[in-house]
Amino acid sequence: MTEVLFAAYFVVLFATLVFKTPIVKGPWLFLLRAFFPNWKFFHAVGHVPQLFARAASCNEAGDTLWSDWMLIYPRRTRRWYHLLHNPDTNLGLAQQNLVDHFWADLYDLPEGDDPRGLVTYAMVSRLAHQFLSELHPHMRQYQFELRMVLSDRTQVVDTQVMMTAPVAVC
């Protein structure tokens, strides 16, 4: 029985590689996507989607001062007790999975369509707002952008901006 299941697994795996299926879309399907990781990073080694954001605040003269662009998903430090309980890293992985889904949605978006209609756009915008509001409590405006970053082990080799969001008011 185990051999039959093992063979059936490889038949299904081979069938998914050979036959291309249409992209299934819908509001209820999107709610289920949170349970499944985005496996598109296995298609090719190269540029990785990363989310950057910046905040604007006003000084006493009324001038708007923008912060530098900051990476939203910095690596979390690991501890030995994370083997038993690790909610911070799990949250970071879920946030990066959201960024990966946003990249996939942008990539699949027809030319000329507004990405602000995407559910992932709203979720990423909220993620950027929450991240920046902790660092800049007097933030008036914020902006985020999705960059495709190619890096080696020591440094960033290439960066391409895939999308820059319009300035949002808090």
Length of the chain: 170
Residue with tokens 């992932």: 120
Q: Which residues of 46-66 are buried (b: 16+ CB within 10 A; e: fewer)?
A: ebebbbbbbbbbeeeeeeeee
When pLDDT is cut at 50, 70 and 90, the band that residue 22 belongs to is: low
pLDDT digits (tens, 9 = 90+) for 136-169: 988 899 999 999 988 777 777 888 999 999 998 8
Closest to 56 measured CA to CA, from 132, 148, 160: 132
Mean pLDDT of the chain: 83
Alpha-carbon span 137 to 145, nearest angstrom = 21
What percent of the chain has pLDDT above 70? 84
Please report the pLDDT score of residue 127 as a whole number: 94
Cα–Cα distance, 13 to 161 (Å, whole number): 34
Nearest to 165 by CA among 133, 111, 118: 118
| Crossing angle for the helix pair 119-135 and 87-108, to the nearest 10 degrees | 140
Tokens of 39: 């496996």
Among 76, 89, 88, 170, smallest CA distance to 130 is for 170
Chain center to CA of 113: 19
Question: Does 128 have pLDDT greater than 70?
Answer: yes
Looking at residue 111, its amino acid is E
| Average of per-residue pLDDT across 125-144 | 93
Q: Residues 20-43: what's their mean pLDDT?
A: 61
Identify which has the larger pLDDT, 37 or 67: 67
Query: Whole-prediction pTM value?
Result: 0.69
